[in-house]
C-alpha cells in the first residue's frame, strides 16, 4: 500500500503506512511524533517507506532525521546504554543506505539537535559523496572513521575551528569545486593515510605554486590529479620531489616544456597524463628515464611531425598509449611499430587516413592487442568494419 506524501507530514505519512489506512481515514493509534517507540518495528523498512517522502528539501531531511532520532531514542527501542552510544540496528540501516547518509550530512548540521543520529553517523560514516552544495569543510573532518570524500561542483568553506582533524582520510576528490585554499590543503594532507588527491578543474582560487608546495608534503600520496588547474612549471617542479606518486595527471594545466623536464625526474611514475598541454614534441625526450611507466596519455597534442614519438620507443614498460584527438599524421604511424611492448593504442579522432591505417595494421606486431579508432570522413565506418573482420585487434569506438 503506497500513498503520496504530499500534504502530509512525515509522522502522518508513517502512521498511515504502518496501520494500513488511507490518508482520509483517521489513525487509531497515538501519533508518531508523540510516541515513536510503537514504530520501532518499521526501522528495517524505514528507508523504503520514507524514500517516497524524503526529497532534496532541507526541511524534509531535517524532519526525517528528527523523527528517526526520536525513534531510536525511545525506551522500547534502545537500552539506556545504547542511548549513550547508538543503536546497532540503526547503524546497519545507515550502512545499507549511503545515499541517505549523504543527504543527512548535507542538510543536518546541528549535532545537538539529533544526538542519536549523530552517534550512529560517527560510527558508520567512512565515505561521503556530495554534488553542487556549499559545504563547511569542518563537517567532513568531524567524522572519526571517514576515509573517502568525493565532491563535485561544491563550494568549500574552511571554518576557523580546526578541532577534530581527520587522521584516517585516504582519498579526497573535489572536482570543479571552489574554496581549495592552501589552508584547506594543509588540513587535508595532515592525514598520513592519504593516498589519492584529485583536484580537477578546481578554480576560485586556482591552485598556485604555494598549493603545490603544500601538496608535496603529503607522505603517502600515490595518485595525484590536478587536471585543468592553474599549476605552472614552477608548481610541477615542487611536485616532482614526491617519490610516492605513481599516477600523475597534469593535463590541461599551464605546464610547458620546462615542466616536462621536472616530470622526467619522477622515475617511479607508472601512469602519466600530459593531455592538452602546450608542449613541443622535443620535450617528450625528457621522459626516457621513466622506466616503470606503463600508461601515457598524449591527447590533444600536436604530433604531426613524423618522428614526434620516436624518443619514447624504448620505454621498457610502456604498454598503453592514448593519442586520441591529437594531430597525428600517417607518417607518424610507422614509428609506433618500434614500440616493443605496446599492447593498447588509441587513435580515436585523429586525422589518419584509411590508407595509413591499413599500412600500419599490415605491419603491426602481435603484441598490440587493442587499437581503437573512430569513424570519420577519412575513416568511413563501413570500411572500418571490414578492417575489423580482418584484424582482430582493431576496435571501433
180-202 per-position pLDDT tens digit: 999 889 989 989 999 999 999 99
* 298 in any annotated domain: no
* 370 in any annotated domain: yes
Residues 111, 161 within the same domain: no
Write the CATH number for 317: 3.80.10.10
Q: Calculate mean pLDDT across residues 16-43.
A: 48
112 — pLDDT class (breaks 50, 70, 90): low
Residues 265, 324 within the same domain: no
Q: Measured between alpha carbons, how far is 236 from 216 in angstroms, rounded to an integer?
A: 10
Domain end (from 90, 124, 158): 124
Q: Are 297 and 274 in contact (CB under 8 A)?
A: yes
* 249 in any annotated domain: yes
pLDDT attached to residue 96: 75
Residues 229, 261 within the same domain: yes
Split into its structural domains, the chain has a count of 3
Q: Are 291 and 268 in contact (CB under 8 A)?
A: no
pLDDT attached to residue 167: 72
- Around Cβ 81, how many Cβ atoms within 10 Å? 7
For 287, the grid coordinates are 621522459
Q: Measured between alpha carbons, how far is 209 from 207 in angstroms, rounded to an integer?
A: 7
Q: Measured between alpha carbons, how far is 12 from 370 in angstroms, rounded to an integer?
A: 59
367 — pLDDT class (breaks 50, 70, 90): confident
Please report where in the chains the cell 624504448 appears, as a residue. 314
CA angle 244, 249, 254 (to 5 degrees): 120
pLDDT attached to residue 55: 54
Residues 324, 286 within the same domain: no
pLDDT attached to residue 345: 97
Residues 150, 288 within the same domain: yes
Domain end (from 124, 142, 168): 124
Residue 26 has pLDDT above 50, yes or no: no
Residue 80 has pLDDT above 50, yes or no: no
Residues 311, 249 within the same domain: no
Query: 61-65, 87-91, 163-167, 202-206: which range is least confident on average?
Result: 163-167
- Around Cβ 44, how many Cβ atoms within 10 Å? 11
pLDDT attached to residue 62: 72
Q: Measured between alpha carbons, how far is 35 from 29 in angstroms, rounded to an integer?
A: 9
Residues 248, 354 within the same domain: no
Percent of all residues in the chain with a pLDDT value above 70, rounded to a whole number:
75
Domain end (from 248, 267, 293): 293
Chain center to CA of 8: 38
Domain, as residue range, for 312: 305-397
Higher pLDDT, 2 or 336: 336
Q: What sign for the dihedral angle of Cα 96, 98, 99, 101?
A: positive
For 241, the grid coordinates are 620531489
Q: Measured between alpha carbons, how far is 168 from 126 in angstroms, rounded to an integer?
A: 9
Q: Are 354 and 329 in contact (CB under 8 A)?
A: no
- Highest mean pLDDT (candidates 20-24, 280-284, 343-347): 343-347
* 300 in any annotated domain: no
Residue 248 has pLDDT above 60, yes or no: yes
Chain center to CA of 356: 38
* 140 in any annotated domain: yes
For residue 13, the SS3 value is helix
Residues 182, 271 within the same domain: yes
Candidates 170, 188, 92; CA nearest to 127 is 170
pLDDT attached to residue 66: 73
Q: Measured between alpha carbons, how far is 334 from 319 in angstroms, rounded to an integer?
A: 17
Residue 264 has pLDDT above 60, yes or no: yes
Residues 40, 81 within the same domain: yes
Amino acid at each position: 500500500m503506497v500513498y503520496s506524501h504530499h500534504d502530509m507530514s512525515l509522522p502522518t505519512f508513517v502512521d498511515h503506512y504502518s496501520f494500513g489506512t488511507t490518508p482520509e481515514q483517521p489513525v487509531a493509534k497515538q501519533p508518531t511524533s508523540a510516541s515513536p517507540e510503537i514504530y520501532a518495528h518499521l526501522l528495517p523498512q524505514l528507508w523504503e517507506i520514507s524514500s517516497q517522502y524524503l526529497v532534496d528539501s532541507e526541511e524534509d531531511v531535517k524532519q526525517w532525521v528528527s523523527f528517526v532520532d526520536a525513534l531510536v531514542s525511545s525506551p522500547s527501542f534502545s537500552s539506556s546504554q545504547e542511548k549513550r552510544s547508538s543503536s546497532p540496528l540503526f547503524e546497519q540501516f545507515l550502512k545499507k543506505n549511503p545515499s541517505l547518509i549523504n543527504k543527512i550530512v548535507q542538510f543536518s548540521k546541528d549535532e545537538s539537535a539529533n544526538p542519536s543520529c549523530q552517534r550512529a553517523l560517527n560510527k558508520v560514516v567512512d565515505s561521503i559523496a556530495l554534488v553542487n552544495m556549499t559545504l563547511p569543510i569542518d563537517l567532513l573532518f568531524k567524522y572519526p572513521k571517514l576515509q573517502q570524500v568525493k565532491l563535485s561542483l561544491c563550494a568549500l568553506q574552511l571554518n576557523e575551528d580546526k578541532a577534530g582533524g581527520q587522521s584516517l582520510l585516504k582519498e579526497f576528490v573535489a572536482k570543479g569545486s571552489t574554496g581549495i585554499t592552501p589552508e584547506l590543503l594543509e588540513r587535508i594532507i595532515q592525514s598520513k593515510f592519504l593516498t589519492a588527491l584529485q583536484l580537477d578543474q578546481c578554480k576560485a582560487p586556482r591552485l598556485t605554486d604555494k598549493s603545490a608546495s603544500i601538496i608535496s608534503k603529503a607522505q603517502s600520496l600515490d595518485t595525484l590529479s590536478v587536471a585543468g588547474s592553474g599549476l605552472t612549471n614552477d608548481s610541477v617542479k615542487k611536485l616532482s620531489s614526491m617519490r610516492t606518486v605513481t599516477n600523475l595527471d597534469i593535463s590541461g594545466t599551464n605546464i610547458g616544456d620546462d615542466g616536462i623536464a621536472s616530470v622526467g625526474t619522477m622515475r617511479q611514475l607508472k601512469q602519466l597524463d600530459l593531455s592538452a598541454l602546450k608542449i613541443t614534441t622535443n620535450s617528450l625526450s625528457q621522459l626516457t628515464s621513466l622506466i616503470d611507466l606503463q600508461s601515457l596519455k598524449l591527447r590533444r597534442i600536436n604530433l604531426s611531425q613524423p618522428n614526434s614519438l620516436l624518443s619514447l620507443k624504448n620505454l621498457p614498460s610502456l604498454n598503453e598509449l592514448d593519442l586520441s584527438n591529437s594531430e597525428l599524421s600517417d607518417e607518424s604511424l610507422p614509428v609506433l611499430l618500434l614500440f616493443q611492448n605496446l599492447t593498447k593504442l588509441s587513435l580515436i579522432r585523429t586525422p589518419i587516413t584509411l590508407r595509413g591505417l591499413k599500412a600500419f595494421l599490415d605491419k603491426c606486431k602481435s603484441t598490440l592487442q587493442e587499437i581503437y579508432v573512430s569513424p570519420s570522413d577519412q575513416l568511413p565506418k563501413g570500411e572500418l568494419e571490414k578492417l575489423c573482420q580482418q584484424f582482430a585487434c582493431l576496435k571501433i569506438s
